[in-house]
Amino acid sequence: MKKFEYKVMAIPTAVALGTKGYEKIAAEFETELNKVGAEGWELIQRVDGLFFLKREI
C-alpha cells in the first residue's frame, strides 16, 4: 500500500500589484515550487492562498 505525507504552504496571492509586481511574485513562487518539486512534493490543490502538496514515503 502506498503511503504519503502532506505539506501545506501559505503563499499570499491576493496582493494589489502592477504587472512587474505580479511577474516578481510569479517568479519567486515558481522557484519555490521547483524547489519542493525536486524534493518529491507534488501540488495537489490550492485554496485561498494555501497550497497542499503530497509526496510518497
Q: What is the pLDDT of residues 8-34, one digit of tens each?
A: 998 765 566 677 777 888 888 899 999
Averaged confidence pLDDT in the chain: 87
- The residue range of the domain holding 30 is 4-56
Please report the pLDDT score of residue 19 as a whole number.
Answer: 76
20 or 47, greater pLDDT: 47
- pTM for the predicted model, two decimal places: 0.74
| 7 φ, ψ (degrees, to nearest 5) | -140, 140
C-alpha cell belonging to residue 34: 521547483
| Structural domains counted in the chain | 1
